Amino acid sequence: MMTYVCKRRLFDWRFKPQFTIYVLRDKDGNFHQAVSNQNVTNPEKLCTLKLTRDMMYPHVNRMQIPVTPCLDPATGYIVEPDPSIPRMLPDSIARHMESQVDILQHLFTDGSLPFVVRYRGCRIENEYITGICFESVPYRLSDAVAQGRIGDVDVFISKLSTGLRRMHECGVVHDNMSSHSVRVTENGEPCIVDFGACKRRGQRRMGYRNGTLGYTRPCATAEFENDWYSIRILKYHLQTSLVTDPCMDTTLDELRSFIAGLDMEDHYTTNPRR
């Protein structure tokens, strides 16, 4: 008996729909994937593929750099492999987590970064990396806005930009800045989270990791400009108190029109080093 878990609808970098991945779980807790180019109401009836341990988790011996183990994974929060990632290769899910760990080890070589969530290492079980550990940050951006915690929007965005510039100095593009990739501390400080789409500058984007619809700059590669594009849209939505996905109830054509109609003239005002 299969239980439905979630689905991921995939778009290319031009926002053109590609296909949908459905994730199911069997009675033993194993994840399975099913793929369809149509929206189905009973994914349990689709042909599925079981995701094995080697498909889901990277082995520490496969890493090109030393991996920092998390000494206390029970505290903070843990990001686990995403079972909805397309299997372009048999071990695409494990490779995606391996890529995240590689980026994080590089970013945090010299310690913490300003306004970026603190990376605490990896949860390692039987020589497999089963989770990435971070320091907890209490508030989602939407909740912080509703509770009046962020104060002046320009100051808030300036601090976010400081965190992004530090990532860029390390040669890393976040590539998924949105309302979901920012959390807020008890003191109202922004904190960049969600490194699943991070890449080194110039790396080719994959269709399933193009960022969040409505915030993403249509572009085939990871560039610093992608982050500033997203920050400009996030600033606009904070100023208008719209901190969910922009245009999430609209059609794709309306979404394209929304993005095309934005005044991007001061697009890089948050990035004085440009």
Q: Where are the domains of the chain?
A: 1-50, 53-97+115-136, 139-260
pTM greater than 0.85 (yes/no) = no
Whether residue 266 is predicted with pLDDT greater than 60 in this model: the reply is: no
Whether residue 243 is predicted with pLDDT greater than 70 in this model: the reply is: no
The CA distance from 245 to 223, in Å, is 22
Of the pLDDT bands very low, low, confident and very high (cuts 50, 70, 90), residue 119 is very high
pLDDT at site 207: 55
Taking residues 7-21, report their average pLDDT. Answer: 78
Taking residues 101-129, report their average pLDDT. Answer: 95
Judge contact between 234 and 178, C-beta under 8 A. yes
> Domain spanning 139-260: which superfamily?
Transferase(Phosphotransferase) domain 1 (1.10.510.10)
Taking residues 200-219, report their average pLDDT. Answer: 77
CA 106 to chain centre: 17
Of 180, 126, 182, 129, the residue nearest 159 (C-alpha): 182
Show the beta-strand stretches assigned E in 126-213: 128-134, 139-140, 172-173, 182-184, 190-192, 199-200
